[in-house]
Structure 1
Amino acid sequence: MATATEQQVTGKPSKQVDEVRKYWLECAAAAPGHESLEAARDYGENWQRLTAEPRGVDYIETEAGGVEAMWAVPKGCATDRVILCFHGGGFFSGSMYTHRKLFGHFAKAIGCRALLLNYSRTPEHQFPTQVNEGLAAYKWLLDQGIKANHVAFAGDSAGANLAITTVVLARDKGLPLPAASMPFGGWFDMAGTGESRIYNADKDALFTVQWINDMAGMFVGEKGNPKDPCISPVYADLKGLPPIYLQAGGNEMLLDDSTLLAERARKAGVDVSFDIFPGMQHTFHMAAGRAPESNDAIARYAKWVKPKLGLA
């Protein structure tokens, strides 16, 4: 696994993982012109159809620091280690229900509990609501007696953003930091400077530049600054952050968000690993339990994070 440069994970896409591309095409078509927020949000509830049910995992709804949440608890897992998980969906869609099975696979592969946060969505709730809720959930875990170095963060897309910005906020608040962060398909630059938004425009089955900008506007708000470090972590001081392992699909318009974050984190002295999966779509991990590429990506995360949590 590369820690100094990006590792390209090669291979012809499987039939199973191609279902992610097909789903994104359907999702994009569900809201023509991306004018119907509710249509896109409703179609997003079908997201979980991509993911196979992980056997031997129980789900328990709870509240974490005043935020609705759900435990994913694999049979026989370590209960004193936790993956704090943030779902994707452009901040306006997705939920702990759409991502329940995905993070159930993470929890099972790693051998510990996962806590899925059902943070508030845009446009009803704008920044900094979501990152504040992430911090509240993390503080709640610490208050429950879970040690900081027994917690790792994970998240996809917008959730990947929170898996970094919440750590930045925790550091700035003087809290003990988690053991690691595992963002994938990350959306880290609301200013939209990455060139992959252009060179991958014809490969990405979901996004357009306009849609990305519209989602960013709902999150940032009229008075917000897209380069605020807790909005776009590529502009944050990343010194002192715990190890980060990024994964991204080679066909994503957001690919350069991960590339830029990896570069800036390394310059800040952070231990960074970064795998690019050529031919893969945004958050191809959602085909967990069905696609070999998705299973391989999660297995890589599990192998990387287990010793950091003391589970090796």
Structure 2
Amino acid sequence: MSDLSVMSRFVLPAFLRLTRRNRKYLDVAAAHAYIAQCAASPASYLPPKRLRGVTVTRTEDQGWPVFTLTPSSGRSRGGLVYAHGGGWVGEIATPHWRLAARLAAELDLTVTVPIYPLIPTGTAAQVIPWFAGLVLDSAERHGPTFLAGDSAGGQIALSTALHLRDTAQAKVPRTVVISPAVDLTLENPAIDTVLPDDPWLGRDGALVFGNLWRGDLPMKHPMVSPLFGDFTGLGPLTVYSGTHDILNPDTRLLVDKATSAGVDVDYHEATGLVHVYPLTPTPEGARARDHLVATLRADLDG
């Protein structure tokens, strides 16, 4: 903890607490109010006007927007499908776009960014098969295609990897999950220990979001909570998690279960860091992003 930057140790947690970033996660009423607010005034999903090193195109698939980030170099060595976080209710944000653009530009990857339907209308049963189809399409068009996602998007990415294995006998060359939500029941008793240190997330509101996202599926269905899937035969995983994140205890269970199933797991646990720390404007976040680029480059060169 003492080795953390000032930004990670003091500034970012203070900012999150002062802006009450966790208020929608703290109680049921706040969660429902946030859902209503997002539905009444949807945030823009358009990418920033300037994304370095890429050309951005937009299409629609099954009536949902899909953006493609193509390297300005004109070269493509493969593909990547990115699932953004936001609790299945928040729209894609600038840090997601910047990470997706960096992966495209520096790795010569064609990155697909689906704008998936959010709760209260979107559900796991709609979105996971759709993502699987986009991965297969990318693999056909661009070559080996990775999956990546953060938070709620980490759940989508991991559930999609399991779905591809089960329905298409397809192994994703690597799935990258950043602070993933892997068990939407949030029943792990170790979460209680982490809650006081987490300035971003909370249990009661998150359960509201998760219950809407599951739709008609059981909460422990692998399309909803991938922790309960069988990891046998899954491709390599890269996992990032901070210990000041209530999702960390379940992430540890994920890593143990996947490793026991013979999966190649590249796990990075950061003591004292918050939810989705690789997306944060901190030295630790920058190092995590550098590591992610290096990991995927090694796969491509491999």
The answer for the alignment partner of 2:222 in structure 1 is 229
Determine whether 1:190 maps to 2:184.
Answer: yes
| CA contact 1:109–1:299 (8 Å) conserved in 2 | no
Give, in angstroms, the shift of residue 78 of structure 1. 3.7
The answer for the alignment partner of 1:299 in structure 2 is 290
Residues 291 and 117 of structure 1: CA distance in aligned 2, closer, same or farther (over 3 Å): same
Give, in angstroms, the shift of residue 172 of structure 1. 0.8
Give, in angstroms, the shift of residue 256 of structure 1. 1.5
Residues 10 and 249 of structure 1: CA distance in aligned 2, closer, same or farther (over 3 Å): farther
Question: TM-score w.r.t. structure 2 length?
Answer: 0.86
Alignment length (residue pairs): 296
The answer for the alignment partner of 1:5 in structure 2 is none
Give, in angstroms, the shift of residue 109 of structure 1. 4.1
Give, in angstroms, the shift of residue 64 of structure 1. 5.0
1:56-71 pair list within 5 angstroms: 56-63=53-60, 67-71=64-68
Give, in angstroms, the shift of residue 135 of structure 1. 1.1
| CA contact 2:21–2:199 (8 Å) conserved in 1 | no
1:69-108 pair list within 5 angstroms: 69-76=66-73, 78-95=75-92, 99-108=96-105
Give, in angstroms, the shift of residue 163 of structure 1. 1.2
Across the aligned residues of Structure 1 and Structure 2, the Cα RMSD in angstroms comes to 3.2
1:206-221 pair list within 5 angstroms: 206-221=200-215
The answer for the alignment partner of 2:4 in structure 1 is 12
Deviations, residues 240-286 of structure 1 (Å, cap 9, x unaligned): 11100100112001112211111111111100111111221111223
1:201 partner SS? helix
For residues 40 and 13 of structure 1, the distance between their equivalents in structure 2, rounded to whole angstroms, comes to: 34
Give, in angstroms, the shift of residue 298 of structure 1. 1.1
Question: TM-score w.r.t. structure 1 length?
Answer: 0.83
1:36-185 pair list within 5 angstroms: 36=33, 37-39=35-37, 45=43, 55-63=52-60, 67-76=64-73, 78-95=75-92, 99-144=96-141, 146-147=142-143, 150-185=144-179
Give, in angstroms, the shift of residue 183 of structure 1. 0.4
For residues 118 and 91 of structure 2, the distance between their equivalents in structure 1, rounded to whole angstroms, comes to: 9
Please, which runs of 5 or more residues in structure 1 have no aligned partner? 1-8
| CA contact 1:13–1:279 (8 Å) conserved in 2 | no
Residues 214 and 78 of structure 1: CA distance in aligned 2, closer, same or farther (over 3 Å): same
- Structure ranking higher on relative contact order (CA contacts 8 Å, 6+ apart): 1
Paired residue type of 2:296: V
Q: Choose between structure 1 and 2: higher helix proportion.
A: 2
Between 198-207 and 245-254, report the one with greater CA deviation. Answer: 198-207
Residues 97 and 291 of structure 1: CA distance in aligned 2, closer, same or farther (over 3 Å): closer
